[in-house]
Amino acid sequence: MTNERSAGIVVYISTLLGREYLLLDYGKYLDFAKGHLEAGEDDRTAAIRELREETGITDIRLHPTFSREIEYMFRDRKGRMIHKTVVFFAGETTSCDVKISHEHVGYAFEPYSHAIQQVTYKNARDVLRLVEEHLTASQI
């Protein structure tokens, strides 16, 4: 079995109506920006680089006290079992001008109530729920 590590960011913007979360459309599922760590990168550096590559967003401010890891297993195209760990950060941007990469077919900023219903995978919904709870608690 191969172990892989990736990093990503649950991106949000603050609007007059509240937070809206960036969902990326990968064609078959909706998820957050994430990708593999490159040689010598730490988790935060990789997450910021992946966000820039996948969305063009460069003005991200990571929330200083939020990070969560998820783990899952899958088979790659060659049929090998992969154990994947992904660390997610929460980050605020003021950029609504997203330039999606070749990996995506679209994007949307959605309020939490819609985003939580649209994210495809349960583990990603769990991360989104934790981000929303953390940010709400941080405002108190």
Counting every residue written for the chain, the total comes to 140
Rg (CA), the chain: 15
pLDDT attached to residue 140:
54
The total of other beta-carbon atoms located within 10 Å of residue 3's CB is 9
Question: What pLDDT digit, counting tens, does each position of 113-133 carry?
Answer: 999 999 999 999 999 999 999
Per-residue model confidence (pLDDT) at position 97: 86
- What is 2-138's CATH superfamily? Nucleoside Triphosphate Pyrophosphohydrolase (3.90.79.10)
139 — pLDDT class (breaks 50, 70, 90): confident
Residue range 25-84, pLDDT digits in tens? 999 999 999 999 999 999 999 999 999 999 999 999 999 999 999 999 989 889 899 999
Contact 88, 32 (CB under 8 A): yes
Determine which helix (DSSP H) or strand (DSSP E) holds 43, and give its type and residue range: helix 43-55
Q: What's residue 96's pLDDT?
A: 86
Give the tens place of pLDDT for each residue, 13-35. 999 999 999 999 999 999 999 99
Residue 95 banded pLDDT, cuts 50, 70, 90: confident
- Looking at residue 140, the DSSP 8-state letter turns out to be -
Q: Yes or no: say if 50 and 7 are a contact pair by the CB < 8 Å rule.
A: yes
**What's the rounded Cα separation, in Å, for the pair 35 and 13?**
21
* Domain parsing of the chain, residue ranges: 2-138
- For residue 138, name the pLDDT band (cuts at 50, 70, 90): confident
CB 8 within 8 A of CB 34: yes
